[in-house]
Amino acid sequence: MTTTLTTNPSSPTTPNESSESIMTTTTLTAPAAATRTPKVPTIGVIKAEWLKFWSVRSTAVTLLAAGFATVAFGMIFSAVAESDEPAGPAALLSDPVDLALGGIGLSEMIIGVLGVMFVAGEYSTGLIRTAFAAVGKRGRVIRAKAAVLSASIFGVGLAAVTASVVLGQAVYAGSEATSAVTDVLDVIFGTTLYLVGIGLIGAALGFILRSTAGGIGTLVGGVFIGPNLLNLLPDSFTDVFMKYLPSEAGAAMMTQVSNPDLLSRGAAYAVFTAWVVGLLGVAGWLVKRRDA
């Protein structure tokens, strides 16, 4: 409500003059519209998550360490291929490309842990509440984190996997014929996508469990250790269900050699995508329905 006082200039007022000489005009105005927080553009949310991801030194170092492990162990496995008794994982590999990618087992674990830490770390510090409050819609935060994580892992992963295949076969000491990079582009692409998917699975577990320790434990137990334990079960069970696990679907995405124990390449992509999208969907559903 706005009040306006109007005085008649032709009749100067005196102390004895009645207050009736002052005309009071009252104007009713509509209440001011409630102040609304402006919507943060999607690109702004992605930029914020990108800065958070790369400004934390441990995050960047962890991702680069995964890339280095891919190249270094691939070269080591390739270099010892001719030895009579190769030790460790190299003893299970014979194909030059598989040897060059022998370090993926360690890299995928590092990247999965990175995905968990990228999300669960903000729950432990309370920063996730600030992000949710600033953006408004929690689903946009999940999508922005997934986009930043995917782009970062894809860039580093593609460079590391390609370098591992090139350098690994350059130092290969076995007797089998090596393959040109152009002949194994499907393997390079599939391996890179598998690393991206593992990182997203880790991020989904971070949103679901809201605990760094719980997320890492579930990731390592469910994706990396669980399949080895399932091998102890009867073959009638493992032959049917094992191939649909994320790790087994990923193995089919990373090889050119046909394996009856694994899914076909197309089916492996579909199953692995279903795991990633499904877990992210569960994460989004839970985030929207519970307190941060």
- As a whole number, mean pLDDT of residues 183-189 equals 94
Cα-Cα-Cα-Cα torsion 130, 135, 136, 138, nearest 10 degrees, comes to: -80
pLDDT of residue 179 exceeding 70, the answer is yes
pLDDT in tens, 90-144: 555 668 898 999 999 999 999 999 999 999 999 988 889 988 888 888 899 999 9
- As a whole number, mean pLDDT of residues 160-183 equals 90
pLDDT in tens, 201-216: 999 999 999 999 999 9
List the beta bridge partners of residue 23. 6
Report pLDDT for 237: 77
φ/ψ region of 26 (left if φ > 0, alpha if ψ in -120 to 50, else beta) reads: beta
pLDDT of residue 14 exceeding 60, the answer is no
Report pLDDT for 255: 86
Tell me how far CA of residue 106 lies from CA of 1, 36, 116, 162, 195, in angstroms: 69, 48, 16, 17, 11
Give me the count of residues in the chain: 292
Q: Which helix (H) or strand (E) holds 5?
A: strand 2-7
Cα–Cα distance between 204 and 196 in angstroms, integer?
A: 12
Report pLDDT for 159: 97
Average pLDDT, the chain: 83
pLDDT of residue 15 exceeding 90, the answer is no
pLDDT of residue 68 exceeding 80, the answer is yes
Cα-Cα-Cα-Cα torsion 63, 66, 68, 72, nearest 10 degrees, comes to: 180
pLDDT of residue 287 exceeding 80, the answer is yes
Say what the pTM is. Answer: 0.82
pLDDT in tens, 44-58: 899 999 999 999 888
pLDDT of residue 19 exceeding 80, the answer is no
Report pLDDT for 92: 56
pLDDT band at 74 (very low <50, low <70, confident <90, very high): very high
pLDDT band at 85 (very low <50, low <70, confident <90, very high): low
Q: How far apart are the first and last CA of the chain?
A: 40
Q: Are 205 and 113 in contact (CB under 8 A)?
A: no
Where along the chain do its domains lie? 40-289
pLDDT of residue 28 exceeding 70, the answer is no
Cα–Cα distance between 95 and 185 in angstroms, integer?
A: 16
C-alpha neighbours within 13 Å on the C-beta side of residue 268: 27
